[in-house]
Copies of this chain bind each other. A is one copy, B any other.
Amino acid sequence: MMRKYFPASFSAVRLDGAFWRERLETVLSRTIPSQYLQLEGHGILDSLNVHQPAPPLRIPRNAHGFTTQIFWDSDIGKWIEAASYALHHRRDAGIERQIDEIVEKLAAAQAPDGYLNCWYLAREPQNRWTNLRDNHELYNAGHLLEGAIAYFQATGRRRFLGLIERYVDHIAETFGPGENQKHGYPGHQEIELALIKLYHLTGDRRRLDLAAYFINERGKQPHYFTQEALARQESRDAFVLRNPVYNQSHKPVREQDKVVGHAVRAMYMYTAMADLAADLGDEGLKRACEVLWRGVTETRMYVTGGLGPSSKNEGFTTDYDLPNETAYAETCAAVALIFWAQRMLNLDLDGRYADALEVALYNGALAGLSRDGDTYFYDNPLESDGSHQRWPWHPCPCCTMNVSRLIASVAGYFYSTSEDELVVHLYGGTDATLKVGSRTVRLSERSDYPWSGAIGITLEPTEPSEFALKLRIPGWAKGATAKVNGESVDLDAGITKGYFEIRRVWRKGDRIELDLPMVAERLFAHPNVRADVGRVALRRGPLVYCLEQVDNPGGKVPLLRLPSESDLSAERRDDLFSGIVTLKAAGRVVETDDWQHDLYRRIRPKTMPTSLVFVPYYLWNNRGSNPMQVWIAELG
């Protein structure tokens, strides 16, 4: 086994800080209930009644004959998962009753052999497992499984988990290397990481083996999806985008060295690969993950942690192709990058993983849910003329429950532990009870993160005990300082790959004060990123900022300029969103009045002074339709 660390479960960590507490409360009290109403209102819950005649399609088939309705099971699974995480914070009989009703319908739907896909059971039972490439059967199973695990963990009730385990047994019989088994794997990866969760929960090694089978089989020749298409008497090439790169089955996963295709599929697959590397000690998978990680974070990631610039494949294009206004950057992809980064941290404590995790969390992912908690972004551009707006639901509602399940379980990304290490990845107000080897350590953290980098940590081991406390020093934090029980420690000397280690005998009440200076600063993109030439993005701590029109009456957002010599200042604004920090700078606005009718002219555009106000990107479009820009053009 290569796994060095286990993340501390979200259920062991109570979030007390203002920032996450507010988000959690919103998800619990508004998002989960409103999502249930949407599932009900859009006919998704009705699709569980597989023994009744199937109604006409709610979502018409597209030109390829495909309807997103085919993965409604996954939406149900994800809602249960998100709701279950929420139940850890506050049990709710009403929500539990709703889930139990769903579970009974699933039980009634399940075939005698364990098979449980509501689309196929209701509409084309004869076609089970005949189109893994397009029809999300294994993907749906994965999400039902994740929901079942979460609900068991939340309530201790096994019924849902039990019936899904029967389904998993059926899947394990159906797929594998045996002569009478199908040698297939999912068109949309997801079940792999769910199976590994099941293995971690139950210790049943067969679940890990099945996940490994799906990963190892992927991309082998003869290509399963081609064989499957020919068996359906279809042209081998007649499918969306006509290229196995789209679903990362173009070659065996260990040979993949470039992040390609559909972004969410890629991230889910890499998450499972990193998990398998950890649990199986598979060096080949670890190396592939490391190469892929560098590829994505060094050439194909938005400054917000968004992934996948193109709507055509919902995914990746070419290196440094990061257009702002047309950025797809699906919320799900940022969420899934967080999953992957967490798995990489299990293998190797490297701040690069945690930095990307934090960027995606506070920016690309968090933007996906409105302040009110019941509208969403699917795609997350870094620039908008005001026409891009949150929607209350989507024909493909994957992102809605991905962002809610992330927020409901965000506490699970704060800490991890090994036999004798306690690692702090994220900061905020928390109260956690953690196992470090056989020790039990209570850790409480007080800070106003992400608005302030002043962090106080108090440790309470049940008895004095030596272990290493490893504090992440984010890549953005220059000049960080720390004190242990009031005494300064030399941070610079002790930082390894972004983590500062304090190894000592810890006693009840030991206190660490960490100061991560939060400086408003300009970020420049690599010169190969053509969309960002001559532009800067502003960052303070983990937050990327943007200009929204509503805060900048001095000029239209695209006409605002930031002189290179302007100082940036941070301002606490208690009147905005129950308290945030904005950034301010002296700016310029380009004149357009003096252009009269010219489209091109030889006189340099004139500018006038104005003041600029930047708000955190994750908060944009919570005050109505509003032009927005992350990368502002410099002057001078």
Chain A interface residues (CB < 8 Å from chain B): 63, 294, 297-299, 301, 303, 325, 521-530, 533-535, 537, 558-559, 564, 590-592, 595, 597-605, 633-634, 636
Chain B residues with Cβ under 8 A from A303's Cβ? 600
CB distance from A477 to the nearest CB of B (A): 12
Chain B residues with Cβ under 8 A from A599's Cβ? 297-299, 301, 525-526, 529
Chain B residues with Cβ under 8 A from A597's Cβ? 294, 298
Bound: A601/B303 CA distance, A:
10
Find the B residue at minimum CB distance from A590: B527
CB distance from A160 to the nearest CB of B (A): 42
Bound: A294/B297 CA distance, A:
46
Residues A526 and B299 in contact in the complex (CB < 8 Å), given A63-B63, A294-B597, A537-B600:
no
Chain B residues with Cβ under 8 A from A301's Cβ? 599
Residues A524 and B298 in contact in the complex (CB < 8 Å), given A530-B558, A633-B534, A636-B636:
no
**Would you list 7 pairs from A and B whose C-beta atoms are within 8 A, ordered by A residue?**
A325-B530, A526-B595, A526-B600, A527-B559, A528-B558, A528-B592, A530-B558
Partner among B298, B524, B529, B530 whose Cβ is within 8 Å of the Cβ of A602: B524
Bound: A485/B470 CA distance, A:
91
- Residue among A534, A592, A634 with max Cβ neighbours from chain B (10 Å): A534
CB distance from A497 to the nearest CB of B (A): 14
User: Do the beta carbons of A527 and B592 come within 8 Å of each other?
Assistant: yes
User: Do the beta carbons of A524 and B297 come within 8 Å of each other?
Assistant: no
Chain B residues with Cβ under 8 A from A535's Cβ? 534
- Residue among A298, A521, A602, A633 with max Cβ neighbours from chain B (10 Å): A602
CB distance from A629 to the nearest CB of B (A): 10
Find the B residue at minimum CB distance from A296: B599
Find the B residue at minimum CB distance from A525: B600
Find the B residue at minimum CB distance from A556: B528
Find the B residue at minimum CB distance from A604: B524
User: Do the beta carbons of A602 and B534 come within 8 Å of each other?
Assistant: no
Partner among B523, B558, B598, B603 whose Cβ is within 8 Å of the Cβ of A601: B523
In the A-B complex, the 3 residue pairs with the smallest Cβ-Cβ separation, listed nearest first, are: A534-B534, A527-B590, A523-B600
Chain B residues with Cβ under 8 A from A600's Cβ? 303, 523-526, 537
19 new A-B contacts at CB < 8 Å, known A297-B599, A521-B602:
A294-B597, A298-B599, A325-B530, A522-B604, A523-B601, A523-B602, A524-B602, A524-B603, A525-B599, A526-B595, A527-B559, A527-B590, A527-B605, A528-B592, A533-B558, A534-B534, A534-B633, A564-B604, A636-B636
Chain B residues with Cβ under 8 A from A533's Cβ? 534, 558, 633
CB distance from A66 to the nearest CB of B (A): 15
Chain B residues with Cβ under 8 A from A530's Cβ? 325, 558
Chain B residues with Cβ under 8 A from A529's Cβ? 599
Chain B residues with Cβ under 8 A from A537's Cβ? 600
Chain B residues with Cβ under 8 A from A636's Cβ? 636
Bound: A26/B535 CA distance, A:
45
Bound: A597/B599 CA distance, A:
40
Chain B residues with Cβ under 8 A from A298's Cβ? 597-599
Bound: A523/B591 CA distance, A:
16
Find the B residue at minimum CB distance from A359: B600
Bound: A521/B558 CA distance, A:
25
Find the B residue at minimum CB distance from A528: B592
User: Do the beta carbons of B528 and A598 come within 8 Å of each other?
Assistant: no
CB distance from A404 to the nearest CB of B (A): 29
Chain B residues with Cβ under 8 A from A294's Cβ? 597
Bound: A390/B592 CA distance, A:
37
Find the B residue at minimum CB distance from A595: B526
- Residue among A599, A604, A636 with max Cβ neighbours from chain B (10 Å): A599
Chain B residues with Cβ under 8 A from A598's Cβ? 298, 526
Bound: A39/B604 CA distance, A:
49
Bound: A72/B298 CA distance, A:
49
Bound: A558/B595 CA distance, A:
28
Bound: A564/B294 CA distance, A:
36
Residues A601 and B527 in contact in the complex (CB < 8 Å), given A63-B63, A533-B633, A633-B534:
no
Find the B residue at minimum CB distance from A529: B599
Bound: A605/B529 CA distance, A:
12
CB distance from A245 to the nearest CB of B (A): 18
CB distance from A58 to the nearest CB of B (A): 21
Bound: A297/B596 CA distance, A:
13
Bound: A597/B528 CA distance, A:
12
User: Do the beta carbons of B602 and A522 come within 8 Å of each other?
Assistant: yes
User: Do the beta carbons of B558 and A605 come within 8 Å of each other?
Assistant: no
Find the B residue at minimum CB distance from A522: B602
Chain B residues with Cβ under 8 A from A605's Cβ? 524, 527
